[in-house]
Amino acid sequence: MSLWLHELRLFLRQPVALPTLLLMLLLSGASVWAGLSEVARQRETIARIQPQQAEDEAALAAWVPERGDAGDAAYYSFHPTWDAPSTLAFAALGQRDIAPYILRIRALALEGQIHESENYNAELALPGRFDWAFVLAYLAPLFLILLLHDIFSGEREAGRHQFLTVMARSSRRMWARRVLLRGGLLSAMLLLPFAVGALLSGSGLPALAVAGVAALYLIVWTLICVGVARAGRRSLANAASLAALWLFLTLVAPGLALLAINGAIPVRQGVELTLAQREAVHAGWDKPKAATMDAFFRYHPEWRNTPPVEGGFHWKWYHAFQHLGDRSVADQAAAYRDGLKARDLWTRRIGYVLPAVGAQVAIHRLAQTDLEAQQAYEDRIRAYYDRLRRFYYPYIFDDRPFTAEDFQRAPRWQEAPPA
């Protein structure tokens, strides 16, 4: 124990030690604070929309029943959906700043609605967020390099190396102690604010997993630093080599990987499917009504025996071709989704090779702010949309009047059960 204390005293006596540790603590703390406030802002926004939404609905419920037309109710009712941030989202905000976490949908064709984007300031999103995952992946290795690059060469350059190796009972243990002390103190500075954040947001076990990923990442970088430091060159050369390695591993290689992935897996189907869907929906106005209804009954035979559509317009015919519009691009929608998934999969694979990418991928998965979480939200929207459609169909197909009470019966968005 006294040996450790002795090493600690020696370490802290270095002019670079304390400022480095304090700066790490400060940056980590600031990122946790920024993440917590962003998550709080998102929750607040979700809470804030509820009364506004209720007011909007009440206004609609005041005029629709005068005519009692379920078609109007379905056409004008916007139903809110939202995706509350997980308790760990503060540590890794992911793409929650650019992908919508609130979306209103109505019972018309879904494909024209589900790709809608949120209003956000692109200039603010451009540099990427300052969250804890960023401090871990980018900044912590730089601090490790600062503390570890001269661990051997510094002593050699001061002329103490020989002496130290001879004096220590086990030189191997002594060096291990030094490395552990420096790496451990830095990790503590990084993890302490995270632990406080995790406690404040009550994130429980997954937080331990995040801490584990972080520890693993820091160990990898410690090993890289020690490896380069042991090559036995001068401190300056070590620092420069390590910084170059950092640059390559965290900025250059991921950039090249992105180029390669986006080049290899094109996903322009997003636009194509929207264009195709519009054509399919609007062509519905000009097709013979019987053909449209027959096609629709293949998916919904339960309405086959309702009275046929006669005359100009009927809501059931309108909803039939809205649904057929979605069906006609279902393959394209699936291909689009698969394209995004394939890009994500390759990113994970890159993560096995590039530690910064691996750590980011793992932490964003645990924080449920990655593509998988986005697609899970999309899936829940699709399921909810189906419930909405099926809620309105009986009124529309059976010509049942839609009353003020019926507005209360519409399916409500359910938050996802905590994972």
Partner 1 sequence: MSLVLLIARNEGRLMRRNRVAQLAVLMLLLLSVVATLTSVAHRDASDALRARFQAQADSAFDGQPARHPHRMVHYGHFVFRPLPALAAFDPGVDPFTGSTIFLEGHRQNSANFGDVRQSSLLARFGSLTPAFVLQVLAPLVLIFVGFGAVAREREQGTLRVLKAHGTTTGALVAGKLLALGTIAALMLLPALLSLAWLVAVEGAALAAAFALGFGYAGYLLLWTVGIVAVSSAVRSARTALMALLSLWAFAIVLVPRVAPDVALAMVPSPTRLETDIAVHRDLRRIGDSHDPDDPHFNAFKADVLRRYGVDTVELLPVNYRGLLAMEGERLTSGLFDAYARAQFKGEREQGNIVAAFGLLSPTIALRSLSMALAGTDLEAHRSFLQQAEAYRYAIVQQLNQLQAEAVTYADDGSRNSDPEAGRRVRIDPRHWHDIPDFAYRGPSLHERLMAAGLSAAVLLVWALLVGLALRAAMRRLGRAF
Q: Residues 354 to 393: which contact partner 1 by CB under 8 A?
A: 356-357, 360-361, 364, 370-371
Q: Where are the alpha helices (DSSP H) in 120-268?
A: 122-125, 132-134, 140-148, 153-157, 161-167, 171-201, 205-230, 235-247, 253-264
Q: Does 259 bind partner 1 (CB under 8 A)?
A: yes
Find the binder of partner 1 among 155, 344, 378, 406 (CB under 8 A): 344
Q: Where are the alpha helices (DSSP H) in 248-329?
A: 253-264, 269-283, 289-299, 315-328
Which DSSP string corresponds to 364-382?
HHHTT-SHHHHHHHHHHHH
Count Cβ atoms below 10 Å from residue 219 Cβ, excluding itself.
13
CA 373/CA 357 separation, integer angstroms:
18
CA 58/CA 404 separation, integer angstroms:
9
Enumerate residues 169-228 that contact partner 1 by CB under 8 A.
Answer: none
Minimum gap (Å) between residue 128 Cβ and partner 1: 4
Enumerate residues 117-146 that contact partner 1 by CB under 8 A.
Answer: 117-130, 134, 138-139, 142, 146
In sequence order, which residues have a C-beta less than 8 Å from that of residue 31 and are 6 or more positions away?
A: 130, 131, 132, 134, 135, 193
Among the listed ranges 212-220, 274-282, 291-299, 384-392, the one in contact with partner 1 (CB under 8 A) is 274-282
DSSP label of 86: P
Strand, helix or coil at 94? coil
Q: Residue 165 or 235: which CB sits closer to partner 1?
A: 235
Q: Does 347 bind partner 1 (CB under 8 A)?
A: yes
Rg (CA), the chain: 29
Find the binder of partner 1 among 8, 102, 164, 404 (CB under 8 A): 102
Minimum gap (Å) between residue 48 Cβ and partner 1: 7
Question: How far apart, in Å, are the Cα atoms of 123 and each of 41, 96, 128, 187, 314?
Answer: 19, 15, 10, 32, 46
Minimum gap (Å) between residue 356 Cβ and partner 1: 8
Question: How far apart, in Å, are the Cα atoms of 287 and each of 67, 278, 320, 324?
Answer: 28, 15, 12, 12
Among the listed ranges 164-172, 209-217, 252-260, 398-406, the one in contact with partner 1 (CB under 8 A) is 252-260
Q: Does 48 bind partner 1 (CB under 8 A)?
A: yes
Q: Does 346 bind partner 1 (CB under 8 A)?
A: yes
Q: Does 239 bind partner 1 (CB under 8 A)?
A: yes
Contact 4, 123 (CB under 8 A): no
Find the binder of partner 1 among 165, 235, 375, 403 (CB under 8 A): 235
Q: Does 257 bind partner 1 (CB under 8 A)?
A: yes
Q: Does 343 bind partner 1 (CB under 8 A)?
A: yes
- Taking residues 146 to 165 in sequence order and writing x for each that binds partner 1 by CB under 8 A, - otherwise, the string is x---x---------------
Q: Residue 208 or 256: which CB sits closer to partner 1?
A: 256
Minimum gap (Å) between residue 9 Cβ and partner 1: 22
Find the binder of partner 1 among 279, 331, 379, 398 (CB under 8 A): 279
Q: Residue 266 or 417: which CB sits closer to partner 1?
A: 266
Contact 92, 367 (CB under 8 A): yes
Enumerate residues 11-40 that contact partner 1 by CB under 8 A.
Answer: 16, 27, 30, 34, 37-38
Find the binder of partner 1 among 78, 297, 391, 413 (CB under 8 A): 78
In sequence order, which residues have a C-beta less than 8 Å from that of residue 88 and are 6 or more positions away?
A: 198, 201, 203, 206, 207, 210, 366, 367, 368
Number of residues located near partner 1, criterion CB under 8 A: 100
Find the binder of partner 1 among 32, 36, 350, 396 (CB under 8 A): 350
Find the binder of partner 1 among 167, 247, 290, 353 (CB under 8 A): 247
